[in-house]
Amino acid sequence: MRFYLISAIVTLIILITVISFRQDVWQTYALPYDEEQVGLNDQITINFSHVVAENTPKGLAADKFAQLVKEKSNGKINVQIYPNGILYNDENELAALKNGDIQMIAPTISKMTEALPSWQVLDLPFIFEREDQIYAALHGELSKTLLAELSSINVHGLSFWNNGFKQIASKNELIQTVEQFQYLTVRIMTSDLLSQQFNLLNAEPISTTFNDLYKKIQNNEILAQENTLSNLYSKGFYKMQPQITLSNHGLLAYSVLMNEDFWQSLDKSSQKIITQSLKEMDRWQHEQAIALNEQNLQQLQADPNVTLYTLSKQQREEWRVALQPIYQSYNNIGNPQFLAQLYQDIKN
Ligand code: LMR
């Protein structure tokens, strides 16, 4: 009996040893060296969260940025994009960036004004007449000063991206005159200046995150909104708010931001790749935004359920006059020098 037991144990040990060797359990091999392969330890991952769809000026710009840095770094820098607010929304993305839970975001300038009131300068109504003025503002002298201001909230400012002019989309009535704004519930991005803008028009501004907007329109809590055609189109808002006034009354643009500690942790050459990639895509991004809004305009024009109306010169002037007091408010709570610099940047 004892003999059989010992034989069984010895056989089992021999079996385990043979199988283990055949399965390479105790063998260690050096991984083959591949010059083109960046080691996992050398990889830099930048998680980039944003709230809009991929086929929008910001969505396309984020993709282009990821592609450029990947090329320039030979795959060492990997930008992982999380669109549509799947990770963070308007209300928590800045906190997530500052905590280091995410490395990059690109909130609208309006959404930064709670932390940096002087940034409201780019939200002033009727300050831009043409697209080239927008480019001059987002990439001129003022833009450098605005980016530098981010250090006061411990955020690294990289660049600005354009989306385009905001329009007014309404559920029931096509908005043409200042009087039609009375008591109208209008969704705004969280911003004192935007709130004041609609208060001056006697409307009822309601601040809502982009992610919550669809539901609130559906529930009739919000009848109108100001947004770009690309945002109205890509999220299907135009289906519920099909009366669209082409007012070009304000700008919707983005600040491209990085977590400050993460930025400082990057080596100089990675920092250079990031800044160069963004610089290289400035013009492309601006033109892409114009083209996309134009394409969405054509798609909306082709939709029989959508009404598009361009403000007459006189109506535009009436809106402008009604909103004029906001400039004085900006000078009181913002920075008059920023406004002067903006005029300087866009004057040509
Ligand atoms: C909005 O909230 O309407 C926009 O800021 C969304 C965006 O990021 O373009």
User: Which of helix, strand or coil describes residue 91?
Assistant: coil
Give residue 7's pLDDT band: very low, low, confident or very high (50, 70, 90): low
Q: Which of 149, 106, 127 is nearest to 254 (CA)?
A: 106
> Is-contact 169 148, C-beta < 8 A?
no
Q: How far does residue 207's CA lie from ligand 1's centre (Å)?
A: 12
Q: How far does residue 17's CA lie from ligand 1's centre (Å)?
A: 63
- Residue owning the nearest CA to atom 5 of ligand 1: 108
Question: What is the residue whose two structure tokens read 């109108």?
Answer: 224
pLDDT, tens only, 103-131: 999 999 999 999 999 999 999 999 999 99
pLDDT at 19: 47
Strand partners of residue 157: 257
pLDDT at 21: 41
pLDDT, tens only, 195-217: 999 999 999 999 999 999 999 99
Q: Which of the two residues, 23 and 255, has the higher pLDDT score?
A: 255
Strand partners of residue 37: none
pLDDT at 32: 42
> For the chain, what are the domain ranges?
40-346
CB neighbours (10 Å) of residue 110? 26
pLDDT at 42: 82
Q: What is the mean pLDDT of the chain?
A: 91
pLDDT, tens only, 31-69: 344 444 556 568 999 999 999 999 999 999 999 999 999
Q: Residue 16: is its pLDDT beyond 90?
A: no
> Is-contact 247 319, C-beta < 8 A?
yes
Which of the four CATH numbers 3.40.30.10, 3.40.190.170, 3.10.129.10, 3.40.50.261 does domain 40-346 have? Answer: 3.40.190.170
pLDDT at 41: 65
Q: How far from 87 is each of 20, 153, 214, 310, CA to CA, in Å?
A: 44, 22, 18, 37
pTM, two decimal places: 0.87
Q: What number is the average pLDDT over the span 277-289?
A: 98
Q: Which residues' Cβ are closer than 6 Å to ligand 1?
A: 51-52, 58, 90, 108, 163, 189, 210, 227, 231
Q: Which of the two residues, 34 and 291, has the higher pLDDT score?
A: 291
The token pair that represents 89 in the structure block: 């929304």
Q: Which of the two residues, 6 and 282, has the higher pLDDT score?
A: 282
CA 346, distance to chain mean position in Å, is: 23
Dihedral class, residue 340 (left if φ above 0, else alpha if ψ from -120 to 50, else beta): alpha
C-alpha 246/C-alpha 238 separation (Å) is 13
Strand partners of residue 236: none
Closest atom of ligand 1 to CA, residue 57: 9
> Is-contact 88 106, C-beta < 8 A?
no
The token pair that represents 163 in the structure block: 């989306």
Residue type for 98, please? Answer: K
Q: How far from 162 is each of 17, 33, 56, 134, 281, CA to CA, in Å?
A: 66, 44, 11, 8, 12
Q: Residue 329: is its pLDDT beyond 90?
A: yes
Q: How far does residue 111's CA lie from ligand 1's centre (Å)?
A: 9
